[in-house]
Amino acid sequence: MNIQFKKGVLELCVLSILSHRDCYGYELVQEISKNITISEGTIYPLLRRLMDDGMFTTYLKESSEGPPRKYYTLTARGRQEQAALAAEWRRFVTGVNLIVEGEHGE
């Protein structure tokens, strides 16, 4: 998969999944991987960045299948950002499709 396509979009993906329910990092990788390829080394720096930007808070929860999981919960700011990014994504895709399709149906 084209790596460059993902720039900025993974942020939208993380925020979108968290807008439905709380997840821990490893789980986010698995969720996103269902639709687009992502490597584990990508998610943690991304989560840290979004955390620093105040997009979510975290809490730890024990697991019987391994080490404790760090769950992420969206803040109001995070929800706002998700909505804004999603809207911009839709506008962007529309614009690109017009260019790719040739703006008049080939």
Q: Summarize as ranges the residues that interact with DNA (CB under 7 A).
A: 1, 3-4, 6-11, 24-27, 37-42, 44-49, 63-67, 69-70
Q: How far is the CB of 105 from DNA (least distance, A)?
A: 26
Backbone angles phi, psi at 6, to 5 degrees: -80, -15
**In the structure encoding, which two tokens stand for residue 46, read together?**
């991304």
Spatial separation of the C-alpha atoms in residues 55 and 28, rounded to whole Å = 15
- What's the one-letter identity of residue 43? I
Q: Which entry of DNA, a second copy, none binds 86, CB below 5 to 8 A by partner kind?
A: a second copy
Q: Which entry of a second copy, DNA, none binds 98, CB below 5 to 8 A by partner kind?
A: a second copy
- Residue number, 8 or 54, with CB nearest to a second copy: 8
**In the structure encoding, which two tokens stand for residue 95, read together?**
């614009």
> How open is the CA angle 54-9-41, to the nearest 5 degrees?
75
The dihedral of CA 60, 16, 12, 1: what is its sign? Answer: positive
Q: Which entry of a second copy, DNA, none binds 47, CB below 5 to 8 A by partner kind?
A: DNA
Interaction residues for a second copy, span 19-38 (CB under 8 A):
20, 31-32, 35-36
